[in-house]
């Protein structure tokens, strides 16, 4: 039986993650802040010795140069296809992304604009 307290969405358009390993940053970690994303203005590209990825700028102590991570963030994105049903775990309205779990248990971010209500 479905849990009515769980928000589910249906994928309307496919989403393919970038071709680079996901990155997890943790509070206190020092990152190098690069360019701001032109499509997703909330995000800046950060690099650290073990990798790189897009992180919401509000999770960092500075908008450019060297910054300290203020909140944990995982850049993992979820590959989706139209018709997939996802369980929404986190809705980040400010960035326009949703942290979701797929039917087979995979988790990651998907753009909110690629999904619709399941009802």
Q: What is the CATH number of the domain that holds 68?
A: 2.30.30.40
| Domain contains 37 | yes
What's the predicted TM-score (pTM) here? 0.90
Q: What pLDDT, on a 0 to 100 scale, did the predictor assign at position 3? A: 67
Number of domains in the chain: 2
Host domain of residue 82? 8-17+76-117
| Domain contains 52 | yes
Mean pLDDT for all residues in the chain:
94
Q: Which long-range contacts (CB under 8 A, 24 or more apart) does 12-15 make?
A: 12/82, 12/114, 12/115, 12/116, 13/82, 13/114, 14/79, 14/80, 14/81, 14/82, 14/114, 15/77, 15/78, 15/79, 15/80, 15/110, 15/111, 15/114
Do residues 92 and 65 both lie within one domain? no
pLDDT above 90: percentage of residues in the chain: 92
Q: Where are the alpha helices (DSSP H) in the chain?
A: none
Looking at per-residue confidence, does 118 or 7 come out higher?
7
Which tens digits make up the pLDDT trace of 37-87? 999 999 999 999 999 999 999 999 999 999 999 999 999 999 999 999 999
């Amino acid at each position: 039986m479905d849990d009515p307290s769980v928000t589910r969405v249906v994928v309307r358009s496919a989403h393919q993650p970038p071709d680079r390993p996901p990155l997890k940053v943790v509070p206190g970690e020092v990152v190098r802040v690069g360019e701001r994303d032109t499509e997703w203005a909330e995000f800046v590209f950060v690099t650290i010795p073990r990798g790189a990825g897009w992180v919401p700028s509000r999770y960092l102590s500075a908008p450019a140069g060297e910054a300290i991570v203020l909140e944990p963030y995982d850049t993992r994105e979820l590959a989706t296809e139209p018709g997939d049903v996802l369980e929404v775990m986190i809705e980040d309205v400010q960035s326009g992304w949703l942290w979701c779990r797929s039917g087979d248990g995979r988790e990651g971010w998907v753009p909110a604009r690629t999904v619709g209500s399941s009802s």
